[in-house]
Amino acid sequence: MRFWRRKPAEPQQPGEAPAPPPDEPTPEERAELHEQTGRAVERTRRGFFGRLGALFERPDFDDTLWDELEEILIGADTGLETASTVLDRVRQRVKKEGVKQSARVRELLREELIAILREPGETPPAWARGDVAPPLVILVVGVNGAGKTTTIAKMAHAFKRDGATVILGAADTFRAAATDQLKVWGERVGVRVVAHQPGADPGAVAFDTLAAAESSKADIVIIDTAGRLHTKSNLMEELKKVDRVIKRKDPSAPHETLLVLDATTGQNGLLQARTFTGAVGVTGIVLAKLDGTAKGGIAFAIAHELGLPVRFIGTGERMDDLAPFDPVEFVDSLLA
């Protein structure tokens, strides 16, 4: 599955049309996305969402089943607020259409779950639009242990595979091991890592990374940051400083700010997301370790309660185990 698309060349002659927009995914890419998404939600599908199969096997759907349906959604970590919103919408459509058949109720539930995931907006991320002049800057934030550094490596691998030149910035100077870990991943992926000594100013690392990207005409910059506990206000202020330094170098950057959440932490991730968004304006979520939880419903809570799109999902431990998030694929895999 392609992640990155090069910015179309500017028209060469007056009146010349710019390059056409990126193509739609090929059937092979669609098949790959379907397989990866299915693998990522397998535990959730077998667990809480697996109970939906038995629920909808009954020919008719009566009022006694609504509570059970709500219990299933909440158990999968959609959260009470999101589960209530989805079911209220389904109930209204069931009443309006006079629906009795379980198969039709299932289809209405599918449509409303997809709609919840699409509510944050369907604008593609900057790396997929091809409308950002290089270097495209991605700031990555998240708490320790969420899978942030591994996610960065997977992203760099995917972008490089698609033909982009990538530079990583090791702005997590709080822990020496974090810089070393990013360097190791950089060597494995085959991309340059800009780093300073442990304890150095993270803003300086970000500045030097952007300077290196400009001088080498790199396509994409991914900047790692310290795995801040969201309760540490001084560390959040430092993160804001990194963001300001990036903007001084390029007022339009960072073009994306991604928060990596450990999907296994469930509803606790919502608190993290609210805090990070308040600090640096998160534009999207990466759900790491989604394949390791039976509560993948957290994706619906993120979209509905935070208004943030999920951009990537972790589908395993291999370098290629990162997939673009697709609402239709996600819901259909859960309900399969």
- Binding-site residues for GTP, in ranges, read 142-149, 224-228
**Counting Cβ atoms within 10 Å, is residue 223 exposed (0-12), middle (13-18) or buried (19+)?**
buried
Residue 130 φ/ψ region, left for φ over 0, alpha for ψ in the -120 to 50 degree band, beta for the rest: left
Decide: 330 and 299 in contact? Cβ < 8 Å.
Answer: yes
Residue 144 and residue 265: Cα distance in Å, rounded?
12
Structure tokens at 195: 């780093």
Residue 39 and residue 320: Cα distance in Å, rounded?
13
Measured CA distances, 311 to 3, 109, 125, 180, 285 (Å): 11, 23, 8, 27, 6
Residue 218 and residue 73: Cα distance in Å, rounded?
44
Residue 132 CB neighbour total at 10 angstroms = 17
Q: Which residue has the tokens 């431990």?
A: 317
Which helix (H) or strand (E) segment is 106 a member of? helix 102-118
Residue 65 and residue 49: Cα distance in Å, rounded?
15
Q: How far is CA 25 from the centre of its chain?
A: 19
Return the closest-CA partner of residue 163 out of 274, 2, 36, 287. 2
- Binding-site residues, in ranges, read 142-149, 224-228
Residue 309 φ/ψ region, left for φ over 0, alpha for ψ in the -120 to 50 degree band, beta for the rest: beta
